[in-house]
Amino acid sequence: MGRRRAPELYRAPFPLYALQVDPSAGLLIAAGGGGAAKTGIKNGVHFLQLEQINGRLSASLLHSHDTETRATMNLALAGNILAAGQDAHCQLLRFQTHQQKSKNKAEKAGSKEQGPRQRKRAAPAEKSGAETHQEEVEFSVENLQAVQTDFGPDPLQKVVCFNHDNTLLATGGTDGYVRVWKVWFGEVPTLEKVLEFRAHEGEIEDLALGPDGKLVTVGWDLKASVWQKDQLVTQLHWQENGPTFSNTPYRYQACRFGQVPDQPAGLRLFTVQIPHKRLRQPPPCYLTAWDGSTFLPLRTKSCGHEVISCLSVSESGTFLGLGTVTGSVAIYIAFSLQRLYYVKEAHGIVVTDVAFLPEKGRGPELLGSQETALFSVAVDSRCQLHLLPSRRSVPVWLLLLLCVGLIVMTILLLQRAFPAFL
C-alpha cells in the first residue's frame, strides 16, 4: 500500500507561515513571503474562497494583498480584522466585501475584465446596445495601525492572539516581553498598550489568552507560566505525573486553550513538549492536557519522535492538530490524546501552521459529511487539506460479529439444556 497523501488545496508564490479561517464568509487566509531580502520572492496575504464543488472542498484565490518588504509570520483574526506579525511590528488589516451593481453596454460585455473578481453576472441583453446589470463582489484590504511589539537585538514578533471576546490582543517575541493591547473597534480600529512585562529570560515561543483573563506563556528558558495580568500565578510542571528524563531537557513548544465538549463551562489547556536539543537518536515529543482552572496535568502521551512545530485546537475542543519540522501532519482526539489521522512528510519540510475549519458559520456546509477538516501550510508554499471521515459509534463488522456470537451462544445453551434439541 502506498503512502497516504493529503490533497493540495492551494500553492502560493511564496513560503507560507501563517493561517486563519473566517467561518462567516468561508475564507481561508494564508500569509507569508520571502522577507526583505531582494530575492524576487514576494510578500503577501492571500484570501481564498472555500467552496464545495461536486462534494469536494476546494479553494480559489479571491484577493492578494501585497505586504511590500514585510513577510507575515503569524496571524490572529477578530471578525474582519487581522493582526499580522511582520518583523518587529503588529500590523492591523481590515478586509471587506462590497457588492455593487453596474451598468455596461452589451457590446462591451465581452471585453476583458478589470479590477475585482467577478462573482455573479446577469445574462447579456439580446439587443445590441442594450444596457445590462451585473453584480460584482469587490474585496478590499486596508492597512490600519501598526505598532512595534518587540525591541530585542534582532526584533521579531513570534506570536499574536486575541482573547475570547476580541477586546484584548497579546503579543510576544524574541525579547521575552509580553505586551497586551486594548483593541478599540471604531470607524478605524486601533491598539492601545495596557500592559507590558518580562515573562521569560529568552524568546517567547507561544502564548494563549484564556476566557477568565489568565495568560499562559511558554519560552526558550524551558518554562511555562500562568499569569494574571503581570502577576505570576503558577508555573506548569508536565513531568510531575509523567515520564522523567534526567539527561534530556525539554521545553514547551506550543500552548492552546480549548473547550471541553458537552461542558459549556469546562476549559482545557494543551501543551506540546519537545527536546530542547537535537540528538542523534531523538527522544519522543509529548502532548499534555491540563485542567484549565487548576492547571494540574490530567494526561500526558507521547506523540512520536518527529519534533512538533505547531499546534491547533478545534473550535469545539474535540480535536488537536499537529505539524512537525519534517512536514508530517496529525490529528488527535483531545479527550484521550489518541491519534486518529497521520500523514508522514505531507509537506516534506517544516509545517509552519495548522488550523481547523470552524464548526460555526459556513463550517458545517463546507465540511459536508466529514467529521473535521484541518488545513496545513509550510515553507514549501503549499496549503494542504486533511479530512477526517465521520466515525461510526460501532463498526458494522463488530455488530455482525456480535450477532453471530450471540446466535452461537444461544444454540450452545439450548443444546446443553435440551440435549435432544439438535
Q: Report the CATH fold assignment for 8-99+137-391.
A: Methylamine Dehydrogenase; Chain H (2.130.10)
Give tens-digit pLDDT for 77-114: 999 999 999 999 999 999 998 766 655 544 444 434 34
Q: Which set of grid coordinates corresponds to residue 261?
A: 465538549
- Cα 342 from Cα 323, distance rounded (Å): 10
- Assign 232 to helix, strand or coil: strand
Residues 346, 365 contacting (CB under 8 angstroms)? no
How high is the pLDDT of residue 1?
A: 46
CB atoms closer than 10 angstroms to residue 88: 19
Summarised one tens digit per residue, pLDDT across range 290-309 is 999 999 999 999 999 999 99
pLDDT digits (tens, 9 = 90+) for 326-349: 999 999 999 999 999 999 999 989
Q: How far is CA 64 from CA 49, 95, 383, in A?
A: 12, 11, 15
pTM for the structure as a whole: 0.85
Name the H helices within 93-230: none
Q: Which residues pair with 102 in a beta bridge?
A: 134
| Domain ranges across the chain | 8-99+137-391, 394-421
* Range name among 54-58, 66-70, 135-139 with the lowest pLDDT average: 135-139
